[in-house]
Amino acid sequence: MSTGPQIGRDVDRIDAHAKVTGSARYSAEQHPPGTAYAVLVGARIARGRVTGIDTSAALAVDGVLAVLTHRELPRIATKPVVIPSLAGTSAHGQSLFPMQDDRVHYAGQPVAMVVADTLERAEHAAELVEVDYAEEPSVTTIEQGRDDAFEPERIFGGIVPGRTERGDVDQGMREADVVLERVFHLAANHHNPIETSAATAVWEDAKLTLYDTTQGPTATRLSVAELLGIPPSDIRVVSEFVGGSFGSKAMIWSHPTLAAMAAQYVRAPVTLSLSREQMFTGSGHREEQEHTLTLGARQDGTLTALRHRKLSPTSPYDDWAEPSISPVSQLYTCPNFHGVYNLIRANTMTPTFMRAPGEASGAFVVETAMDELAYELGIDPIELRLRNHADTDPETGQPWSSKGLRECYQRGAELFGWALRDPIPRSRRDGNWLVGSGMASALYPVYTPMSPQRARARVYADGRAVIETGASDFGTGVGTIMGQVAADALGMETEAISVRYGDTDLPNTVAAVGSAGSGAVSAAVHTAATALREHLVAQAVADPESPLHGADPSRVQVSEGRMFLSERPANGESYTDLLRRHMMFDAEALGEWEPPGQDTGYGMATFGAQFAEVGVDPDLGLVRVRRLTGVFAPGRVLNRKTARSQLLGGMLWGVGQALLEATHMEPRQGRWANASLAEYLVPVNADAPDIEVEMIEVEDRVVNPLGVKGIGEVGQVGVAAAIANAVFHATGRRFHDLPITIESVLARI
Ligand code: MOS
């Protein structure tokens, strides 16, 4: 009678039908009666002052309700502070809120907001706003600001120190037989989810409902409440559907608050959508970066020292860098390590989380250098990594909560056919294509939320159940796994359970960031559903009319909603029978999971191994990824189908990072030169190789009750290095700059 475990099953996404049929309504599609539309006007200069704004032509357009500038917009109640959204508190993306004074800190910074009765009229009027500026010289690139770099105290919203040290690096370098120093340059990147950021604000007296595209409805609620100076409980945030994010909606930017201010001003609901171009200056980016990595090793390949400096531009007012040094520090055993961040004050907005923030870039650097070391010493790249395998966390010496990396190397090598590879560069051809292969390791930390995570489980007398959490599903499948996790805990089938999520009226969970969404949500749902089952079983054994009366609750199993004794399955009754007998329509339980915090006494990370085969056309400079193999050890897999999709998507981001994605700064004007999907290149189907994904389940008893380590981002980590290493194998040329473009290949081949 048992239907078997629901966790791990290939359950189809519960939101798939709504999305492909177009019935899913996104935040910009919420149109309460009388909705007006706000459009932002961005600064055309990168630094200076607004000296005058003529709004008369815009105000004269039919249907225009208001034009708000720093003269009209209310002042915010509290200056925003950048705190990563995993904290469960407010999570401002940057400490600048626009239109509070006449200063311009970056091109695209909003200087006016037009509100009209239709989107088209608002867009038209926005074109007519005349802004005069007093321009000042700007810095927007590493090249321009290199001489003024400084070492920050902390980066990444204050949670990562500016410097990491262990052992004695100079001594380690002296002990080395080989010292290798390389400089890497990585282009700035933008997330480019297909749904641009948007918010619809609806006031009812003093209460605000915000439909917001966000990874964290509670983060939006708390951030907007701070800025408006109203109680968070007066704000409800709804994020029913979110069309991708990749970190661009992980922090709270100014637009939901601006939508609320506009709605208050015109006394009507207001939708504020960023245009595609505004997404390049409205929701953060991965910063341009230069890495200098020095690596010392003995003849046998063992590392003696690593020195790493990362240099990158941040905004004029926040110390943000993605933490690219941690993967360099944590991937391999190395007693002597020195890593330092250097920042440049630049006229851009504050950078932000983007797709494995820190790991994707850091792994490119260290995994390229490790491949060079392997060639230098004549050691197979996998063997070199095994010789430096970190049995414990190199940063703390603590054991890993679980690892599985050796198994990933082994299985990946088998699937990919690594043993057949002739390591000699430029040794393989396919027609005109030079063919090569490369590999790299992947690591992504397991972040645990800093606050309790809540969910509610309710069983109805009709045999169905509903599970609720506040979390938003921005394309990860977290909504789908809620039902599966609850099914196992309640002893029901997934199909008998409906789920509700994406709403601050539901039990609070933290923003789904840092690949921590499924870990947090599954823990809360498991806790709630387990509490409800225990409650119902306790009620049955206490009930003289129940066939289970007097039974030991620990001997009671539940399957398909029926409670029975393990040793006598015929002896039992369903939840429905129990509830009906007690004249109860339903029963519910709130579950609260207290996360262990980051200080568990264990190193916590998800590991994996990436393999790439490329073809390089030496005449055209084309690099084509022919196949990718990724093997990962993500702890418990909740849904093999959605997990595979996450990892596969992550690997494709790696193809983008390696070969396509770059936002180019035009330094004289201080503007992003290719702020469109036509010119910001992302992999499309024609760029997508055959991708093989495999998961090795490892047991983890530390991270959360179900041992879920997270897979949202680790799929990207290491892909760019595996591809660059494959390009070296194919061509005999090393590429230290990303993306590897046609021009750069032609220049070097
Ligand atoms: Mo993720 S880049 O932490 O949203």
Q: Containing H/E element for 253?
A: none
Question: For residue 656, which amino acid is it?
Answer: G
Cis, peptide link before residue 739, omega less than 30° from 0 = yes
Please report the pLDDT score of residue 620 as a whole number: 97
Answer yes or no: do 516 and 613 share one domain.
Answer: no
Predicted confidence band at 598 (pLDDT cuts at 50, 70, 90)?
confident
Query: Which domain, by its residues, includes 399?
Result: 355-447+600-748
Q: What span, in angstroms and rounded, lies between the C-alpha atoms of 394 and 377?
A: 23
- The rounded Å distance from CA 357 to ligand 1 centre is 7
Would you state the structure tokens that stand for residue 408, as one six-digit string?
Answer: 């990933």
Q: Residue 465 forms beta bridges with which residues?
A: 459, 497
- The rounded Å distance from CA 748 to ligand 1 centre is 35
Answer yes or no: do 472 and 558 share one domain.
Answer: yes
Q: Is residue 2 over pLDDT 50?
A: no
Q: Is residue 136 over pLDDT 90?
A: yes
The answer to whether 482 touches 525, Cβ cutoff 8 Å, is: yes
Closest atom, ligand 1, to C-alpha of 712: 1
The answer to whether 274 touches 251, Cβ cutoff 8 Å, is: no
Please report the pLDDT score of residue 3 as a whole number: 65
Q: What span, in angstroms and rounded, lies between the C-alpha atoms of 1 and 9?
A: 18
The answer to whether 28 touches 38, Cβ cutoff 8 Å, is: no
- Residue nearest to ligand 1 atom 4, measured at CA: 247
Identify whether 371 is part of a domain.
Answer: yes
Q: Is residue 328 over pLDDT 70?
A: yes
Closest atom, ligand 1, to C-alpha of 512: 4
Other C-beta atoms within 10 Å of 79: how many? 12
Helix (H, G, I), strand (E, B) or coil at 608: strand
Answer yes or no: do 453 and 557 share one domain.
Answer: yes
Please report the pLDDT score of residue 412 as a whole number: 98
- The rounded Å distance from CA 167 to ligand 1 centre is 31
Ligand 1 pocket by C-beta < 6 Å: which residues?
A: 215, 247, 250, 353-355, 357, 513-514
Please report the pLDDT score of residue 4 as a whole number: 82
Pocket test for ligand 1, best of 713, 714, 716, 717 (most atoms within 8 A of CB): 713
Answer yes or no: do 471 and 412 share one domain.
Answer: no
- The rounded Å distance from CA 363 to ligand 1 centre is 16
Selection from 49, 50, 47, 45 nearest residue 137 by Cα: 47
- The rounded Å distance from CA 564 to ligand 1 centre is 44
The answer to whether 312 touches 321, Cβ cutoff 8 Å, is: yes
Would you state the structure tokens that stand for residue 175, as one six-digit string?
Answer: 């002990």
Cα separations (Å) of 60 from 64, 65, 113, 127, 131? Answer: 7, 10, 15, 13, 16
| CATH code for the domain of 536 | 3.30.365.10
In percent, the amount of the chain with pLDDT more than 90 equals: 99
End position of a domain, from candidates 524, 558, 593: 593
In percent, the amount of the chain with pLDDT more than 70 equals: 100
Where in the sequence numbering do the catalytic residues fall? 713
Q: What span, in angstroms and rounded, lies between the C-alpha atoms of 453 and 350?
A: 29
Please report the pLDDT score of residue 279 as a whole number: 98
Helix (H, G, I), strand (E, B) or coil at 517: helix
Count of domains forming the chain: 2
Averaged pLDDT score across all residues of the chain: 97
End position of a domain, from candidates 593, 609, 628: 593
Identify whether 416 is part of a domain.
Answer: yes
Answer yes or no: do 557 and 664 share one domain.
Answer: no
Q: Is residue 124 over pLDDT 80?
A: yes
pLDDT digits (tens, 9 = 90+) for 168-202: 999 999 999 999 999 999 999 999 999 999 999 99
Predicted confidence band at 250 (pLDDT cuts at 50, 70, 90)?
very high
Answer yes or no: do 522 and 433 share one domain.
Answer: no
| Residue bearing the bigger pLDDT, 87 or 544 | 544
Q: Is residue 1 over pLDDT 50?
A: no
**Cα separation of the two ends of the chain:** 65
Answer yes or no: do 456 and 535 share one domain.
Answer: yes
Return phi, psi of residue 490, to 5°. -85, -15
Question: For residue 287, which amino acid is it?
Answer: E
Answer yes or no: do 507 and 398 share one domain.
Answer: no
pLDDT digits (tens, 9 = 90+) for 377-414: 999 999 999 999 999 999 999 999 999 999 999 999 99
- The rounded Å distance from CA 91 to ligand 1 centre is 13
Closest atom, ligand 1, to C-alpha of 85: 3
The answer to whether 15 touches 479, Cβ cutoff 8 Å, is: yes
Closest atom, ligand 1, to C-alpha of 352: 2
**On the CB side of 123, how many CA atoms lie within 13 Å of its CA?**
8
The answer to whether 46 touches 104, Cβ cutoff 8 Å, is: yes
Answer yes or no: do 604 and 576 share one domain.
Answer: no
pLDDT digits (tens, 9 = 90+) for 420-435: 999 999 999 999 999 9
Please report where in the chains the tokens 């260290």 appear, as a residue: 366
Mean pLDDT of 606-617: 98
- Give CA torsion, residues 459, 465, 470, 473, to 10 deg: 170
The H-assigned helical ranges of 554-608 are 575-581
Closest atom, ligand 1, to C-alpha of 355: 2
Answer yes or no: do 631 and 733 share one domain.
Answer: yes
Please report the pLDDT score of residue 597 as a whole number: 87
